[in-house]
A and B are shown apart, each in its own frame.
Chain A
Amino acid sequence: MNKQLTCIECPMGCLIEVEVENGAVKSVKGNTCLRGKMYAENEVICPLRVVTSTVKTVSGKMVSVKTDKPVRKSEIFEVMKKINSLTLDRNVVIGDVILANIDRDANLVATQNYND
């Protein structure tokens, strides 16, 4: 079975064709780079996405966050629920883990310095 995909790894948005046989990837065509190949292989088996959002703080300000690895696309709304249940009560710098293992081994990390 062949699947057509639009790669989301970079602004080029390559049109990729993946050949899948018995639940395994047989070939990947149309990608320009290795990231595209990896994206396509994941996309047909278990789609993954980086989630970016904000976490509220005790001061009322918002701090931007992301998952440091892509999470399972099927779990995005579960991840959002966890993010929105948090209230940050400490200062953070970019890269600090705010919630470990938010989905499997992906951590939620700050993408902004917060210094109340």
Chain B
Amino acid sequence: MIPLQPPRRLIDVEVDGEAVRVPEGSTVLDACRTAGKDIPTLCYGDTLTPKNACRVCVVEVEGSRTLAPACSRKAEAGMVVGTDTARARHSRKVVLELLASSTDLSTTPMAKEWMADYGADPARFGEEAATVAQPPKVDNDLYVRDYGKCILCYKCVDACGEQWQNSFAISVAGRGFDATISTEFDVALTDSACVYCGNCVEVCPTGALSFKTEFDMRAEGTWDESEQTTTTTICSYCGVGCNLTLHVQDNKIVKVTSPHDNPVTHGNLCIKGRFGYGYV
């Protein structure tokens, strides 16, 4: 017999005055989404353990001294959550300003919309405000690391590390504002433990990591997502049966991803599945 999961108890939570019932173990974010509340997230990944580093998803939880990260805080019975209070909105606004003033968010999906929604004005920190601007690292033909766009969400590190790939090619190095995602001694990827699975690129929320095809096409000005189709099919290499989502522009594959809810891959691929399409 297939072992049954023990039944999950349901708990009641209040979100913005509305009663919501969620399974025990759900996060506040789950509860908010059940209630139909849209909360911005950046470092949250549907295949990763929440790191709650970016703090754009903070909400007000009654009785809590500080705001709580919705992505990681577990919902508790009787919890009263405010997603859109002045205090929560204020923190989200400033966090967006802090990010946008220090990091290039030009390829971060939704960033522009959120900034407008929260009235964020990153320019008010002045032109001298410190940034993480730096030239992109192009040290191989498969993917590019443009850390001027990196918000240090840790998702690439977690995907490369114990949560999925277990290659541990990168880590956060340094401290504070000077912290970076780095190989040991910042050696080039070609000298590192990287196996080019691209699972870091798959989870990057800002485009700091991008496939070389996308990076080059953006540089040429030919990258156009509105002209792209996405089709999910099966990898042509080994017999594991990984699901590939092919992003096609002008009858050319320009990017390969994998569905995050797929039981075979959970959104992960290897170098062949991710990059080995050159022959078609």
Q: Are the chains A and B members of one assembly?
A: no
